[in-house]
Amino acid sequence: MMKRSLILETGDVFIGTAFGSVEASEGEVVFTTGMTGYQETLSDPSYCGQIVTMTYPLIGNYGINRDDFESIEPAIKGLVVRELTDTPSNFRSDATLNELFVLKNIPGIEGIDTRKLTRIIRELGSVKGVLSAAGEEVNVDEVVAKLKNTTFRTDQVEQVSTKRPYPSPGRGKRVVLVDFGMKHGILRELNKRDCDVMVVPYNTTAEQIMAIYPDGIMLSNGPGDPKDVPEAIEMLQGLIGKIPIFGICLGHQLFALASGGDTFKLKFGHRGANHPVKDLESGRTEITSQNHGYAVDEESLKGTRLKVTHIALNDGTVEGLAHLDVPAFTVQYHPEASPGPEDSNHLFDRFIELMNANVKGEKQHA
Ligand SMILES: NC(=O)CC[C@H](N)C(=O)O
C-alpha cells in the first residue's frame, strides 16, 4: 500500500493511500454527492480535466460492470474516496474499481477525510489540485506555488468528442447528435425511441448537418467552459429556427450563448443525483441528476428570444430554456439520468413530439 497526497492550491494537504495508476495528475477538484453511480460518474466525459471527490463514504462496493459505462475511455483526472472496497458484492460485477483504474491509468486516493475536503470546496469554490505519484515525497510549497501559477485549460471538448461521424441506425426520426463529450445514456434514450441517429463531431458545420437532412438536432453534454467552443456556437446560429433542437447541459449552455445569452462559472457547481428542479410551466418539481460547473446567466436573457422554463430549487439558477419563436428547448440537468433518477426521462418524448409537430421540417425533406 503506497501513500499518495492530494495537495490543493490553498496549501491544504490530504495524505491517503494510492489506488489505480501510480502516476501523478492534476486537475480542478470538485465533489459529487451521488450515493451510487460511481461507474457512470467516472466514465462521464464531462469530468474531463477534473479530480472528483465522492462525498458518499463507501465507494466500489458493487464493483465495475460491463453495462454502466457512460463512455469507453474515462476522462477524469482522478478520484478521491473515503473508503474503497476491494471485495465488491454484486452479481453484475466484473472487476474492482482499483482494477479499472490500473487498466485505464487513472490515479485514485482513498482514506482521506472527504467531508473536510468538501467543506473547503464549498467555502472557497472548486480548487486546483494535484494527486502525487504513488509513494512520492512531495515538496508541498513547490507544488502549491506551481499550482497557483497554473491556469488549467478549459477546452477539453476537442479531446473527448468523436473524431468522425458514425451512425446508430433506426427507423424513426433522424436525429443528428452533436457529440461534445456525450454520455452514452443520451444515445441510448434516442435509440430506445427508434431514432435514426447520426453522431457528429463538435466542430461539424451547420451546412454539413443540414446535408444529413435531420428531423432534429440533439446537443450533448460535455466538459469545460462553453465559451471555449466557438465553432459550436457558430454552428448553432446556423441551425436555430431551421430544425427542432434539444440540448443537454453543455448543449444547453451553448444554445444560450448562440442565442445571445451569457454563461458564468458557479462557485462549486452542481454535481449529484438529487438536485430538485422546478418546471415553471407545470409547477412540478423533479429530482434530477446533475454535473455542471457553469450556468446560464438569467439576466443576460433579457434581450434574447429565450425564456426560462426550469430553475434549480437549491440556488435559483437557470435549469431549462425554451425558444419563444422556434422549436428548441434545453435543460441544464441530465434527463438520461445514469446515474440518478429518471424523473425527467419524458423530455426525450417531448423532443420526439416536437419533431413530429414540425410539419414544415417534414415537408422540407419529403
Ligand atoms: N455535464 C455537462 O455537460 C457540463 C457542462 C459544462 N462543462 C459545465 O461544467 O458546466
pLDDT in tens, 257-267: 999 999 999 99
184 is a catalytic site residue: no
Give mean pLDDT, residues 45-63.
98
| Three-state DSSP string of 107-159 | EEEECCCHHHHHHHHHHHCCEEEEECCCCCCCCHHHHHHHHHCCCCCCCCHHH
Question: Could you identify the atom of ligand 1 that is nearest to the CA of residue 290?
Answer: 1
Kindly indicate whether the ipTM for this predicted assembly is greater than 0.95, answering yes or no.
yes
Please give the residue range of the domain that contains residue 25.
3-148
Determine the Cα–Cα distance for residues 248 and 276; give it in Å rounded to an integer. Answer: 16
Pocket of ligand 1 (CB under 6 A): 46, 221-224, 249-250, 291-294
Residues whose CB is less than 8 angstroms from the CB of residue 353 and which lie 6 or more positions away in sequence, other chains included: none
Of 148, 176, 207, the position where a domain reaches its end is 148
| pLDDT band at residue 359 under the 50/70/90 scheme | low
Question: Could you identify the atom of ligand 1 that is nearest to the CA of residue 251?
Answer: 3
Which of 186, 227, 253, 275 should be mutated for ligand 1, with most atoms under 8 A from CB?
253
Give mean pLDDT, residues 196-225.
98
Question: How far, in Å, from the CA of 82 to the mean position of ligand 1?
Answer: 25
334 is a catalytic site residue: yes
Query: Given this model, what pLDDT does residue 353 score?
Result: 97
Provide the Cα torsion 262, 267, 273, 277; round to 10°.
Answer: -50
* 239 shares a domain with 177: yes
CATH number, position 352: 3.40.50.880
* 288 shares a domain with 142: no
* 190 shares a domain with 53: no
Query: Given this model, what pLDDT does residue 365 score?
Result: 46
* 217 shares a domain with 125: no
Query: Given this model, what pLDDT does residue 324 score?
Result: 98
Copy the grid coordinates of residue 239.
441551425
Determine the Cα–Cα distance for residues 23 and 17; give it in Å rounded to an integer. Answer: 13
Task: Write down the catalytic residue from 249, 270, 275, 323.
Answer: 249
Query: Given this model, what pLDDT does residue 1 score?
Result: 86
Determine the Cα–Cα distance for residues 264 and 19; give it in Å rounded to an integer. Answer: 35
* 340 shares a domain with 200: yes
Question: Could you identify the atom of ligand 1 that is nearest to the CA of residue 222?
Answer: 3
As a whole number, the mean pLDDT across the chain is 96
Query: Given this model, what pLDDT does residue 363 score?
Result: 45
249 is a catalytic site residue: yes
Beta bridge partners of 15: 5
Q: Residue 230: is its pLDDT beyond 70?
A: yes
Determine the Cα–Cα distance for residues 62 and 340; give it in Å rounded to an integer. Answer: 16
pTM exceeding 0.90: yes
DSSP-assigned letter for residue 213: -
Which of 159, 292, 318 should be mutated for ligand 1, with most atoms under 8 A from CB?
292
Give mean pLDDT, residues 325-336.
97
- Could you report the per-residue pLDDT of 145-181, keeping only the tens digit for each? 999 999 998 889 999 999 999 999 999 999 999 999 9
Number of neighbours of residue 253 by Cβ within 10 angstroms: 32
Total domains, the chain: 2
Percent of the chain with pLDDT strictly greater than 90: 96
Query: Given this model, what pLDDT does residue 366 score?
Result: 39
Percent of the chain with pLDDT strictly greater than 70: 98
Query: Given this model, what pLDDT does residue 15 score?
Result: 98
Determine the Cα–Cα distance for residues 41 and 48; give it in Å rounded to an integer. Answer: 11
* 43 shares a domain with 134: yes
Number of neighbours of residue 81 by Cβ within 10 angstroms: 25
Provide the Cα torsion 309, 182, 224, 116; round to 10°.
Answer: 90
Q: Residue 253, annotated ligand binder?
A: yes
